[in-house]
Amino acid sequence: MPPLDVKNSYIVDWRQLRRWGIPESRLPPDATVLYKPPTAWEQYKGYIISVATVLALLLALVAFLFIERQRRRKEEELNSAMLESLPGLALLVSPQGEILRSNQIEAGALGDELGEAAPPGRTYLDCLHRVAGQDGVMAAASVAQVIAGDRISATAEVPLLSGNRWLEIRAIQLPQGQSGSLIVHLDITQRKQAELELIESRTQIYHLNRVAAMGQLAAALAHELSQPLAAILSNAEAGLRFANRESPDLREIREALNDIAQDDRRARGVIQGMRAMLKKQDLKVVPVDLNHIASSVAQMMRNEATLRGMSIQVLLLPSPVMVQGDAIALQQVLLNLASNGLDAMTGTDGARCLTIRTSGESNGKTASVWVDDEGLGVSREMADKLFQPFFTTKHAGLGMGLAICQSILDSLGGRIDVKNRDRRGASFSVTLPRA
């Protein structure tokens, strides 16, 4: 076997190196230095590494906490800024309903109302009850659901107990990871007042429209009244003649008086209808019979039609057609449509008959009343503008009639449509939800 060569090793005694002043840098790289006292690092390497590791972990933890704190502080500042920038009183409410914090709103808006009544720590619904009463709390039931976590968001309008003041409460759940909800309160008193004024103005317009319609029907109504009055006079004179006889026939006198009473009732009905139309009142949505309304309008318009050499035909469903609406307002709508229909037939040839008819939709949810004329019909361009305010085809018209009709039907939850008839003329329909 070949010889096995044993190489020398480079081994030195560190103490001798120091004794003779030899730096370790002069040793070859593979030198083994013996008897060198361990450095603090070599002696306590484990401890040093452990302590350094613990310190590093602590430092990392502190850094993490510091960064997290900074982040939270910025987030808090942003939230505060957003909270402060919100209009009205904004409250952060816990899922238990406790007010956690609020923005600093200026006194005078809500500060003297809910603001002072809702300091942090109080229960929100108690505070709301204090300023809005039980009705207010009930109106804000959806807000309570948001607080309890049952809804994402809600909006409620709540009247305050202090009178003539309204709050709009907007509640929204905070994003996932943050429990509680944000509730913003806006003082909508001015808006509410504007809405009321708008309703009042609308009522005024409706009333004026009715007055105008009645004015247009004045001649017909006069004629309507003249007939019973003439009949009353005639029956009264006849009754006097019967009474002046030597042996008056009481049966004839009784019949004359009955006729007088009947004519009087007829005249009173006309006057009552006029009074109702001229009376200014708010819309009241109640079940009404479309057949009855159509009949009454046809009755009111019949003399006007006769005076114009036209006729009115009424085609009603055999049974009452009950819908949700306001009888006076619907009469106003049908009067407008019938009056327009008569105007549309003016100047046309042939038999001119206005038809008022009722129908029920196949779905059973709505019913309609139709006003069909035999005029020139409605062009496509005209159909687009027909319901716009101040659009008219009449020389003396204001162009508000159909706009008011549409507004009334919008308020009642119904709609008005127009289409041309197959033969000639136009057909307006008023559709309302069934009662």
- Token pair, residue 368, equals 């309609």
29 vs 177, which CB is nearer to another protein? 29
At its nearest, how many Å lie between another protein and the CB of residue 147?
59
19 vs 395, which CB is nearer to another protein? 19
Question: Where in 11-70 is the site for another protein (CB under 8 A)?
Answer: 11-13, 16-17, 20, 22, 26, 34-35
Amino acid at 384: D
How many C-beta atoms surround the C-beta of residue 239 within 10 A?
Answer: 19
CA distance 410 to 199: 13
Binds another protein (CB under 8 A): choice among 5, 106, 246, 349: 5
At its nearest, how many Å lie between another protein and the CB of residue 25?
12
CA distance 432 to 325: 7
At its nearest, how many Å lie between another protein and the CB of residue 180?
58
Alpha carbon 61 to its chain centroid, in Å, reads: 53
Write the CA distances from 399 to 82, 90, 405, integer angstroms.
49, 47, 11
At its nearest, how many Å lie between another protein and the CB of residue 12?
4
Contacts with another protein: how many residues (CB under 8 A)?
A: 19
At its nearest, how many Å lie between another protein and the CB of residue 36?
11
CB 225 within 8 A of CB 347: no
Question: Hey, CA dihedral for 39, 44, 46, 52, is it positive or negative?
Answer: negative
16 vs 96, which CB is nearer to another protein? 16
What are the residues facing 426 on neighbouring strands? 420
**Segment holding 408, helix H or strand E:** helix 401-412
Position 233 contacts another protein (CB under 8 A)? no
Instruction: Candidates 4-12, 47-55, 259-267, 413-421: pick the segment binding another protein (CB under 8 A).
Output: 4-12
**Residue indicated by tokens 């006069």:** 222
6 vs 351, which CB is nearer to another protein? 6
CB 377 within 8 A of CB 420: yes
20 vs 41, which CB is nearer to another protein? 20
38 vs 121, which CB is nearer to another protein? 38
Residue 176 gets which letter from DSSP? T
5: left (phi over 0), alpha (psi -120 to 50) or beta: beta
326: left (phi over 0), alpha (psi -120 to 50) or beta: beta
Position 9 contacts another protein (CB under 8 A)? yes
At its nearest, how many Å lie between another protein and the CB of residue 3?
4
At its nearest, how many Å lie between another protein and the CB of residue 61?
47
19 vs 380, which CB is nearer to another protein? 19
Position 134 contacts another protein (CB under 8 A)? no
Position 10 contacts another protein (CB under 8 A)? yes
Binding residues vs another protein (CB under 8 A): 1, 3-13, 16-17, 20, 22, 26, 34-35
